[in-house]
Structure 1
């Protein structure tokens, strides 16, 4: 069994038991200073890894584990700067800064989906549009046989109902017309509502079914309701709902679903409370729950990864493929390619095969590190010998080859898809051609999509992003006008693309105005990254007034550390002290990381410099 260790003050002397309390872990953060950071060295002794963190103290823990000692935070400043965790209008992660998050989260999401939609046939996923979903979610289940597209009369009835009509009335009318309400019909309707991120309508349908006693509620139905409440009404109400669920239902499944949503919403405090509650209620702590905490800490506080690994060691929880993928990704983010390769070797020693998702994570980090030969060799290994047979791989290979700048490879793979393209393949192809500065080719793929699936906000948003990256403001505005004339449903993805379009051309005030009007006219929330884009531009100018205005609009989002970093940058650039900023941080329960601590020193209005000391 693999083991971990932290080179810090021994756990016993810090007043908590890592096996039982993650709440206390959240309160032991310390502000790193440059003087307290040292680089550690690798010691391989047969174990998986040691996530050796660098604290002020030079003491090291003396735990009885075989270790591999290497610091993951050698690039901590870069990691701190990349803590952008966006959220869409329905509190799901949106446009993560690191594309690998989409790959890693999909494993956890599929486990929850299997629980919630186990009765429903998946149907033909390629032809189902999902407005406002991530455009980068390109990995499908491998080896799954394709089946004919499944239709749902109930779903069609809900979609075709007049705007504003309640689900209660839709369902009453549907039954009055003599339709039979079967569990299969309900399952398919719920599945398609979820795919389209229509969580509010799905929740209303669930509530109607229970109130009318149309179907017998099973364990997965309660878990589905819990998931929908968390997504639409918040985590507090979701946790309260658990208390109303019959005792016969598996409590571990319910808390696992709640934990999944806490991590999805990047709510560190609530996730730690739920994880701790699993132990308090004597519920089993599974590898799924540990993986969720690893994902959470990978994004927010990598110092705590070691504590999760230690818990897994003590509880004899065997790491899964996703566990290794998360650790590989974390090492890659820290630019520790040797450490990343060591985890891969250990993974193979444990007899765990690298799946395509993990290989894609590896390839991205090889590309980022400039190791093109290793990346190309890995991509060829992923591709295998028959791409036409393994068609689903095209969605993964296209963006990776684009990142490598391989025009010929992108063209070769696209030819496999071109004669009969699938929806998701087209989306990634537009982005791939855009990255390669082949705007004409991106436009050709877009027009192919329009002819086959009609113009939609999702497809338009991807091309708008290409136009924004190439500062093609005229083409972007023409596409926006075309969307309006076609009656496209415009939502957060489109707003995000429009904002970036204006920002790239220096029209920040225009981007701000567009986003403000869009948010006022819609019940949907803009994505976190959209607001952050505008905030960053105002901060560069040292525009404190507008930076504070945008910051205020972002208060409902969870990723506040990054928000404060950008806000303080505005004060630094304006050369103005930020009075009371430490009180604001305490009120938001934020412990400064290294980057934030450095900014706090610069905006401290009461700080004295050597010259002022002489004058005093």
Structure 2
């Protein structure tokens, strides 16, 4: 349920006006709004609910979206479709965990347990890089005789581009054998795979194939190509592509600023960043403003980034959250603790509820500034006072910092708190935990048994670390002494 984009990059359907959504945002209580809605005799139509969910997702208000679906199932005769169940499953995975999403799948009426629901779960497995679960689910979909969709294949391509590039060829062969036509997304994954591997010639061949297939190179793909040219040291080729992106002029294609600004920042071209920023100021498009803030941040021009943010606030009379996160990231990267704290206060004073994403940004700021203990205190206080469940990645930021220091006690403590918060133990948590033991030069007793209990199975990298912290590992010296 994402906003669609045309080939030119324009948004087809902007956030439409939705009374239900606006009421939920205003009252900050899904239950209160829905009870009042029913009491007043208003219809909860499929169109109204779907649009409200769509807009809540755009705001990343996933918990509110999930509450809306749950209330409808418990209190009304709302006729759920497979797409509705898929949306709820996706929100369960985002708000809770993959395990909870798997449990929810079993709870969906069998007649609605179709390909759309399964592929939604597959996308979340890929998002969390859970290779084993993703492969099992893909095979399950084939066992259930669902048609092998290009969406499912693209998800595995995305997964393997990050985890095991050797398997990409297997998916491409499967697509060819089942006559599954590649989409723009397929080619995007292949371009990324070649670009990350530094295979520029291979990347160019994929572009030629796209052109032969009649698939237009939109600004997003062109920007991807330019990034990989820059990474390969081919600045001239990158600049050629950047000129092509701007080809029709900014007035005709204002959305290309979001692609061009980071590229000019990457090559340190302040003049072009300033030129594009001036154009951005004329329209204050949300996406372009975020790109301008990030570009100025990359160039270490903090005041320029702050100025873009302030102009947005002045125009829209609110503190916009995505630009807020962009500015907070700049403060984090530059270890500007005081400014970051002031920004959080500003958001709070504007009457905006401080949610998990805001706390994550603040925790990351403290960790980057070298104050991991303070970051943990803030997180614990926020959890206790606001009855808030922190994001999984927030715990990981603290976990990784303690592990880097070889602080086994605190790493274990945060590891336990992550599980107590309802997050299922994953490969990456155990890998980080083992880093703490390695850096502390301390053996880890019973680690394999703990992993077995949590159904976590080591990959090659983790197996090496496990062997290194095994208290009963034979070293050349111990072997001699045993003899």
TM band (smaller chain): 0.7 to 0.9
Q: Does 1:563 align with 2:432?
A: no
d(CA) in 2 for partners of 1:559, 1:356: 39
C-alpha change, 1:142 and 1:585, in structure 2 (3 Å) is: farther
Q: What CA deviation, in whole Å up to 9, does each residue of 1:535-591 have, x standing for no partner? A: 222122211111112222334557833333322222122111122223334444445
**Could you say which residue in structure 2 is the equivalent of 1:17?**
none
Is the 2:9–2:255 contact (alpha carbons within 8 Å) kept by the matching residues of 1? no
Question: What is the number of equivalent residue pairs in this alignment?
Answer: 476
Residue deviations 1:585-609 (CA, integer Å, cap 9, x gap): 4444445445434433332322333
The corresponding residue for 1:193 is: 56
**CA deviation profile, 1:498-531 (whole Å, cap 9, x unmatched):** 1222223221111111122223344554334332
Matched residue, 2:134: 271
Residues 1:471 and 1:581: Cα distance change in structure 2 (over 3 Å): same
Q: Equivalents in 1 of 2:467, 2:80: separation in Å?
A: 56
Q: Structure 1's 337 and 525: CA in aligned 2 closer, same or farther, altered over 3 A?
A: farther
Tell me, what secondary structure is at the counterpart of 1:577?
Answer: coil
State the Cα distance separating 1:269 from its structure 2 match: 3.7
TM-score between the two structures when normalised by the length of structure 2: 0.86
Map 1:36-435 → 2, pairs under 5 A: 110=2, 142=8, 144=10, 150-161=16-27, 163=29, 165-166=31-32, 168-175=34-41, 179=42, 182-206=45-69, 217-232=80-95, 234-242=100-108, 244=109, 247=111, 251-435=114-298
1:609 matches 2:475? yes
Distance of aligned partners of 1:601 and 1:376 in 2 relative to their CA distance in 1, 3 Å threshold: farther
The corresponding residue for 2:326 is 462
Aligned to 1:554, the other structure's residue is in SS state helix
Rounded Cα–Cα distance in structure 2 between residues aligned with 1:498 and 1:570 = 24
Deviation at 1:483, TM superposition (A): 3.1
Q: Residue 409 of structure 2 corresponds to which residue in structure 1? A: 545
Q: Sort the Cα spacing of 1:257 and 1:425 in 2 relative to 1 into closer, same or farther, 3 A.
A: same
Unaligned runs of 5+ in 2: none
For residue 449 of structure 2, what is the aligned residue in structure 1? 583
**Kept after mapping to 1: 8 A contact 2:24/2:30:** no
Which segment is superposed worse, 197-206 or 513-522? Answer: 197-206
C-alpha distance in structure 2 between counterparts of 1:590 and 1:509, whole Å:
28
Could you tell me how far apart the structure 2 residues matched to 1:558 and 1:360 are? 37
CA deviation profile, 1:436-493 (whole Å, cap 9, x unmatched): 0001101111211221232255433322221221122222233233333333321233
Give 1:291 shift. 0.8
Q: The residue matched to 2:198 in structure 1 has which SS?
A: coil
CA deviation vs aligned residue, 1:1-42 (integer Å, no higher than 9, x gap):
xxxxxxxxxxxxxxxxxxxxxxxxxxxxxxxxxxxxxxxxxx
Whether contact under 8 Å (2:30, 2:68) holds in the other structure is: no
Higher relative contact order (CA 8 A, sep 6+): 1
Name the CA shift for 1:332/1:492 in 2 (closer, same or farther; >3 Å).
farther
User: Shift of residue 219 of structure 1?
Assistant: 5.0
Distance 1:517 1:250 in 2: 41
Kindly indicate whether residue 370 of structure 2 is the aligned counterpart of residue 506 of structure 1: yes
Q: Where does the alignment leave 5 or more consecutive residues of structure 1 unmatched?
A: 1-108, 115-138
What's the CA shift for 1:227?
4.1
| Residue aligned with 1:419, SS | helix
Greater fraction helix: 2
Q: TM-score, normalised by structure 1?
A: 0.69
Q: Which moved more, 1:278-287 or 1:547-556?
A: 547-556
1:259-316 superposed Cα distances (whole Å, 9 cap, x missing partner): 3343344443443333222221222111111111222333344443333223223222
Match of 1:494 among 344, 347, 358: 358
Moved more, 443-452 or 182-191: 182-191
**1:456·1:488 contact (CA, 8 Å) conserved in 2?**
no
Question: Alpha carbon RMSD of aligned pairs, Å?
Answer: 3.1
Q: Which moved more, 1:433-442 or 1:463-472?
A: 463-472
1:435 Cα deviation from its structure 2 partner = 0.7
Distance between the aligned counterparts of 1:497 and 1:210, measured in 2? Answer: 34
1:526 aligned to which of 383, 390, 413: 390
